Structure 1
Amino acid sequence: MAGIKFEIHEEIGILSDSSKGWTKELNIISWNGNTPKFDLRDWSPNHEKMGKGITLTNEELKALKNLLNEMNL
């Protein structure tokens, strides 16, 4: 994405793989030099391209974890 700078601080894990080699990943990323946040999105091999995703603060990730724990999966 042109004009957007990012730094992956930690690769936490891969949730899924696509047939085209892209992976859905949870990472800790700083965008444009800002405070690192949890980030969930699709990535091409070698993190050259990215899909749309979401970023979460620590508090938002904890809230999401609590919601998921309450679900009857």
Structure 2
Amino acid sequence: MARQNKSEPIKFKIEESIGVLSSSTNGWQKELNLVSWNDQPPKFDIRSWSPDHLKMGKGITFSNDEMNALKEIIQNAGL
């Protein structure tokens, strides 16, 4: 659901930290988390986060069905 007022800040809450995929020398980490965006049900989310989790980079979100499909693709690829 789109925000009604684009000037409103995006609200987010990391519901569960699942794991760190990589770390950079400046302290930012690419992470897999369950994140609730704008009070919506949480989705799987992969993106870079600052050490305090107040700033974030661009990322991608996955529904449960999409994450299951990705998992199957990765397993079938032998990765």
With the length of structure 1 as denominator, give the TM-score of the two structures: 0.93
Bigger relative contact order, structure 1 or 2 (CA pairs below 8 A, ≥6 apart): 1
Identical counterparts, % of pairs: 57
SS at match of 2:52: helix
The answer to whether the aligner puts 1:70 opposite 2:67 as a matched pair is no
In structure 1, what residue type is equivalent to 2:59? G
Residue in structure 2 matched with residue 3 of structure 1 by the alignment: 9
Structure with max Cα Rg: 2
Provide structure 2 residue ranges, at least 5 long, that are not aligned to the other structure.
1-7
SS in 2 for 1:55: strand
Aligned residue for 2:40, secondary structure, equals: coil
Note the residue ranges of structure 1 that are not aligned, 5 or more in a row: none
Tell me how large the CA RMSD over aligned residues is: 1.1
**Corresponding pairs, count:** 72
- Give runs of ≥4 in structure 1 deviating > 2 Å: none
